[in-house]
Amino acid sequence: MSAIKSCRGFTLIEIAIVLIVVTILIGYSVALLPVQQELRQYREAKTQMEGLIEDLIAFAQVNGRLPCPDTSGGSGAIDGLADLHANPDFGCESFFGFLPARTLALSGDFDTLGRLLDPWGQPYLYSVSNINAGGNTEIDLVVANGIRDEGLNNVVPDLAICDGSTVSGQDITCADVTGNPVLDSVAAVIVSTGKDLGNVASNVQVENTDFMHADFENGDLEDKVFIFSSRNDATGTEYDDLVYWLSTNRLFSKMIEADRLP
């Protein structure tokens, strides 16, 4: 007489437990998606900005100077092209604005004004030092051979990277934002305003976009301070800007390699 095998299926309780576990796992994965997307965007922005600094260096190696920003100041227009001053010795129409992506012949995502966009869909900001070591009309970093004419030791760019917490308007040094210098001799700065698009009321990171405010239109004021920070400000809003800069040593050494200096 053959043995009868008993086949036991899943009980309703066991199926319910499995469904609960699967639901929890799916919910956990869905909850992580925004975090994973944010991390991906930051990694992409950092890679892009490292490349943009290299593009500035390449431009300087070819042209003997850094490009001017794309700006609406004076007779300029926001179109992705560097806006030069009518007087070649003055270099730029303005020394703060947007990255001149068309002038640099860059590829990527652009808005209708020709501005290169970061992973959050906001245009990259760009500033270049307007240092004039000789006291003449020639702005050293943005005029061809201006650095060579003045001499390497005399040209000291004056954009400042600070760890600060207050904004006073027209800021020239880290002391103006009660901050400590991270680097106080920077030739050029590129900024991505990060995930919040730069629209939050943060005293820490508003410093990086103050040139866009009414008082700074058409170059009426200048601001040489940029905030590089990872801490929260007094309002509790997390700082999330990305700030990349081109140091004097790096710029000069790369121009020497290309026989643009001394």
Q: How many CB atoms lie within 10 A of CB 203?
A: 17
What pLDDT does 216 receive? 46
Give residues with Cβ within 8 angstroms of 41, minimum separation 6: 119, 120, 195
Distance CA 145, CA 22 (A): 66
What pLDDT does 179 receive? 73
186 pairs with which residues across the strands?
159, 247
Closest CA to 188 of 161, 163, 211: 161
Distance CA 201, CA 209 (A): 12
What pLDDT does 98 receive? 92
The model carries a pTM of 0.79
Distance CA 256, CA 262 (A): 6
What pLDDT does 41 receive? 81
Question: Could you give the C-alpha distances from 227 to 18, 159, 193, 221, in angstroms and in order?
Answer: 51, 11, 11, 18
Q: Helices 12-63 & 248-257, crossing angle to 10 degrees?
A: 60
What pLDDT does 215 receive? 47
Give residues with Cβ within 8 angstroms of 47, minimum separation 6: none
Which DSSP state fits 238? B
CA 238: distance to chain centroid? 17
Q: Hey, is 113 helix, strand or coil? A: coil
Q: What is the pLDDT along the chain (262 residues), one digit of tens a residue?
A: 455 555 565 677 777 787 887 787 777 666 656 656 677 888 899 999 999 999 999 999 999 999 999 987 555 578 888 888 888 777 888 888 899 999 999 988 999 888 999 998 989 999 999 888 876 667 888 888 888 888 888 888 989 888 866 666 677 877 777 777 788 889 999 999 877 655 555 666 777 887 665 444 544 567 788 888 755 554 555 678 889 999 999 999 999 999 888 8
What pLDDT does 250 receive? 93
Which alpha helices (DSSP H) does 116-163 contain, by range? 146-150
Place of tokens 């009868």: 4
